[in-house]
Amino acid sequence: MHELLERTIREASSYFQNFLIHEYSKKSALHAVDARIKLIATIIFVVLAVSTFNPEKVLLVLIFLITISAVTGLSLRSIAERVWLFALFSFIVVLPISLSNPIYPVTFTLRVATSLVAIQMLVMTTSFAEICLALRSFRVPEVFVSALWLAYRYVILMFKELLSILLARESRRVSKGSHMDVWRKGGEAVGLFFLRSFEKAEKVQLAMEARGEALSHYHGKLKMLDFVYATIVAFTVFWWVII
Amino acid sequence: MGDNLKVIEAENVSYNYPDGSTGVRDVTLEIFEGERIGLVGANGSGKSTLILLLAGLLKPTKGNLRIFGKEVDKKNVEDIRRRIGVVFQNPDDFLFNPTVRDELLYVPRQLEWGEEELEEALRYHAEIFRIEHILDKPPFRLSGGEKKKVEIASVLVYRPEVLLLDEPTAYVDGKTRRHILKILDDFEGTLIIATHELDVAEKLADKFILLNLDHRIEAVGGKEILKNEELLERAGVI
């Protein structure tokens, strides 16, 4: 039982960490699109997905997103790997409603999946620093952007710490042990995890202070590719309205 | 290798991380009992990934890996863990017990050693690693050199047959480095050491596997590999 629990925590940590980290190994055309355009496009796609209960409209947005990803060379498999768990979870959560409204769980899951695909298209092709800078260029208050940036850094660190503790335990787990032992050791590991996360967070804070934690301003002019992408988004909105 | 037992066998093993980045590509190798292997390569060549794979802690995304003649599965994982000791590059990633004493006795207690045997193992390893004075301290409060010594001691204490070490002299000063190298030199089992420090590899190993920046094996051989500047330069080591 405890092995299953430990494996679940490890897989979940790896999943959530991966969900937040932007893809850097495979470049696509979307990587070259300006972060500000991608940010606005993501907000538009999410709004389109969640502001309707018409499954055809949601499906239209999802098809557009998948097509854009495929055409620009973004790995559909990577997107699916990052999205499926949340989509499945949302489906399970609303499944009881199917007794009164059979189509609702499908529509709801489609909305969640579409929003997540849109977010992943941004996360996988844009570093978090660029996203924060794009937010600043839209005059989002600095305190909000800084808090977002710090939260992102610490969440990544926290999952990294958790994964390293689990891997270290795994490397020296030579017997199953009694349940009592497992819970006692597990409790100690959790305590240590919080202590280490706290210590690491302090070190990161010092490192950020040493090198300056303020995000600079966004530079760069819009290119032809940015206008092409903006046109595609407008085209999606147009079809969403007339369908 | 004569009648020596094949300890680890990798056949076209590749590993990709969940974010899509490559760990190692098409690694084929055989490691026999008693061999002392130096896994040499530049930073980012995949040494740490290969160490975790050879320890059975990562599952290859492609290819076959057999440890003591078997693929790692639920049935044999505990036996493999007991016979293989692995030392991580960063001791902060490895040490998770409340005190150094608990750290050293973590595996022996699982193996249900008697009190006398536990005390003897603790005393012996604390003495040879010169860590008697820190046994009741929490590991994460120690200096870099102390952490490294505790890390290696907590693996050697349960007498593994195979010892996998990832950069064992990282984070330590010259004196601690010599001390650690002396202890590892005295280790009598199969030794696999990943390092980018050629002098460390030369001191501890007699067979070398050179990884290149494409995450593949560039060459396998004896000490002549460490003298071949062209080869080392191509692999990004010098």
What are A's interface residues with B at a Cβ cutoff of 8 A? Answer: 14-15, 18, 21, 23-26, 75, 78, 81, 164-165, 167-177, 188-189, 191-192, 195-196, 199
B81 near A174, Cβ under 8 Å?
A: yes
The CA distance from A219 to A109, in Å, is 38
Strand B22-32, strand B6-16: pairing: antiparallel
Helix (H, G, I), strand (E, B) or coil at B9: strand
What is the per-residue pLDDT for A24? 54
Cα separations (Å) of B41 from A190, B14, B20, B236? 35, 17, 21, 7
pLDDT at residue A211 tops 60 = no
Largest distance between two CA atoms of chain A: 64
pLDDT at residue A105 tops 70 = yes
Q: How far is A101 from chain B (nearest CA, A)?
A: 37
Exposed, middle or buried by CB within 10 Å (0-12, 13-18, 19+), for A139? exposed
Q: What is the mean pLDDT of residues A165-190?
A: 78
Find where tokens 């994460």 sit.
B140
Which residue is closest to A190 within chain B, CA to CA?
Answer: B96
Residues of B in contact with A81 (CB under 8 A): 18
Q: How far is A117 from chain B (nearest CA, A)?
A: 16
Q: What is the mean pLDDT of residues A225-230?
A: 94
Which residue is closest to B155 within chain A, CA to CA?
Answer: A172
- Residue B193 gets which letter from DSSP? E
Q: What is the DSSP string of B16-54?
A: E-TTS-EEEEEEEEEEETT-EEEEEE-TTSSHHHHHHHH
pLDDT at residue B211 tops 80 = yes
CB contact under 8 A, A169 and B96: yes
pLDDT confidence band for A169 (50 / 70 / 90): confident
A/B interface, count of CB pairs below 8 Å: 73
Two tokens, residue B76: 């044999």
- Residue A220 gets which letter from DSSP? -
The CA distance from A143 to A213, in Å, is 12
Question: What residue type is assigned to position A133 of the chain?
Answer: L
pLDDT confidence band for A207 (50 / 70 / 90): low
| CB atoms closer than 10 angstroms to residue B3 | 6
What is the per-residue pLDDT for A237? 93
CA A167 to chain CA centroid, nearest Å = 23
Two tokens, residue A13: 């940590």
The CA distance from A118 to B151, in Å, is 44
Question: What residue type is assigned to position A118 of the chain?
Answer: A
Residues of A in contact with B94 (CB under 8 A): 164, 168, 171
Q: What is the mean pLDDT of residues A162-182?
A: 79
What is the per-residue pLDDT for A216? 57
Q: How far is B86 from chain A (nearest CA, A)?
A: 7
pLDDT confidence band for A143 (50 / 70 / 90): confident
Residues of B in contact with A175 (CB under 8 A): 78, 110-112
- In terms of pLDDT, which residue wins out, A186 or B200? B200
B63-90: pLDDT as tens digits: 999 999 999 988 898 899 999 999 999 8
Instruction: Please list, residue by residue across A40-73, b when 16 or more beta carbons sit within 10 angstroms of its beta carbon and e when fewer do.
Output: bbbebbbebbeebeebebbebbbebbbebbeebe
Which residue is closest to A168 within chain B, CA to CA?
Answer: B94
CB contact under 8 A, B57 and A18: no
What is the per-residue pLDDT for B219? 95
Q: What CA dihedral angle connects B122, B127, B129 and B131, to 10 degrees?
A: 80
The CA distance from A136 to A199, in Å, is 29
CB contact under 8 A, A173 and B18: no
Q: How far is A51 from chain B (nearest CA, A)?
A: 31
To probe the interface with A, which of B16, B57, B93, B155 has the most A CB atoms within 10 Å? B93
Q: What is the mean pLDDT of residues B108-131?
A: 93
pLDDT at residue A59 tops 90 = yes
A139 near A223, Cβ under 8 Å?
A: no
The CA distance from A97 to A106, in Å, is 11
Residue A222 neighbours by CB under 8 Å, 6+ apart: A34, A37
B204 near B36, Cβ under 8 Å?
A: yes
What is the per-residue pLDDT for A46? 95
What is the per-residue pLDDT for A210? 62
What is the per-residue pLDDT for A146? 80
Q: Nearest by CB to A170, which of B57, B97, B110?
A: B57
CB contact under 8 A, A23 and B82: no
The dihedral region occupied by B44, where left means phi > 0, alpha psi between -120 and 50, and beta the remainder, is: left
pLDDT at residue B221 tops 80 = yes
Q: Is the pTM of this model over 0.90?
A: no
What is the per-residue pLDDT for B1? 53
What is the per-residue pLDDT for A109? 94
Residue A118 neighbours by CB under 8 Å, 6+ apart: A41, A42, A45, A46, A49, A61, A65
In chain A, % helix, strand, coil (3-state, to 5) comes to: 80, 0, 20
A17-37: pLDDT as tens digits: 666 666 555 688 999 999 999
Residues of A in contact with B112 (CB under 8 A): 175
B107 near A185, Cβ under 8 Å?
A: no
Mean pLDDT over the full length of chain B: 92
B188-198: pLDDT as tens digits: 999 999 998 99
Q: How far is A41 from chain B (nearest CA, A)?
A: 24
Helix (H, G, I), strand (E, B) or coil at B191: strand
Residues of A in contact with B49 (CB under 8 A): none
CB contact under 8 A, B92 and A196: yes
